[in-house]
Amino acid sequence: MQKTYVYMLALAVFAAGCSKEKQAEPTKPEPTTVHEFMVERIDPDADAIWAIGNAAISENASIDPALMTDKNWTDLKAAADRMAGHARALENLDPLLAVKPGMKIADEGTEGAPSPAMIQAHLEKDTDVFRALADSLTTHGTDLSAAAAKKDAVTAGRLINEMDGVCESCHLEFWYPEQKELMKKMGLLPE
Ligand code: HEC
């Protein structure tokens, strides 16, 4: 009993620490690596957008305007604006560095998982493609902001649904391209 309690307490502290970290604080210094952009900016922005979208999802997987308050629309627009700004900064990151030395990325050390050196090599090989994909995310954020400003539930719903694909298109090229063939074989990607 005691043990469970201690464990749950540890979990609660851990969760609190996580959510705190997830808040993109404007006072935090501008990220200098793709990894920091992901963890400190892009992922929290996306989570904020998905949280609003998920709470207002209708039966046909689009946004039900009746479930959106004025505050929800304002918050959605603000999160989309943050995303656009952060994606623009990511696009202009120069030098284009994957990870700061000593920082650990997701799954690092797990067998078969990409290493920072592998990601850095992809970034250097196809820098222009990276910038173009970051630009797609900028455009996505800008379009979502415009839809939220107009309270256009159809367009906003579609853009929120499609956002994951924008993330994934870059992850597949620059984070784990080694898995592309495997995913094709598994039928998860078109040949
Ligand atoms: C222009 C390219 C690009 C786009 C667009 C992009 N990412 Fe990433 N992302 C990366 C790269 C490269 C990595 C691998 C480095 C790393 O793990 O930090 C990564 C890693 C991540 C990680 C793992 C971070 C960690 O702990 O290592 C998360 C979470 C993530 N991205 C979320 C997102 C979300 C959500 C979106 C879309 C809203 C997105 N990314 C869009 C390039 C991109």
CA 159 to centroid of ligand 1, rounded, Å: 18
Residue 28 half-sphere exposure, CB side, CA atoms within 13 Å?
Answer: 15
Q: Answer yes or no: is 74 within a domain.
A: yes
Q: Does residue 49 have its Cβ closer than 6 Å to ligand 1? A: no
Total tally of structural domains belonging to the chain: 1
In a domain, 191, yes or no: no
In a domain, 3, yes or no: no
Name the residue range of residue 124's domain. Answer: 29-99+115-185
Burial per residue of 56-92, b for 16 or more beta-carbon CB atoms within 10 angstroms, e otherwise: beeeeebbeeeebeeebbebbbebbbbbbbbbbbbbe
Query: What tens digit of pLDDT does each residue of 100-146 get?
Result: 998 899 988 888 889 999 999 999 999 999 999 999 999 999 999 99
In the predicted model, what is the mean pLDDT of the chain?
Answer: 86
Domain assignment present for 1:
no
From the CB of 163, is ligand 1 less than 6 Å away? yes
In a domain, residue 55? The reply is yes
Residue 35 belongs to some domain of the structure = yes
Residue 10 located in a structural domain: no
Instruction: Please tell me the residue having the least CA distance from ligand 1 atom 22.
Output: 38
| 154 within a domain of the structure (yes/no) | yes
For residue 145, which of 83, 63, 69, 56 has the smallest C-alpha distance?
83
Q: What is the pTM of this model?
A: 0.85
Q: The domain that contains 175 carries what CATH number?
A: 1.20.120.10
- Distance from the alpha carbon of residue 66 to the mean position of ligand 1, in angstroms: 33
pLDDT for res 100: 94
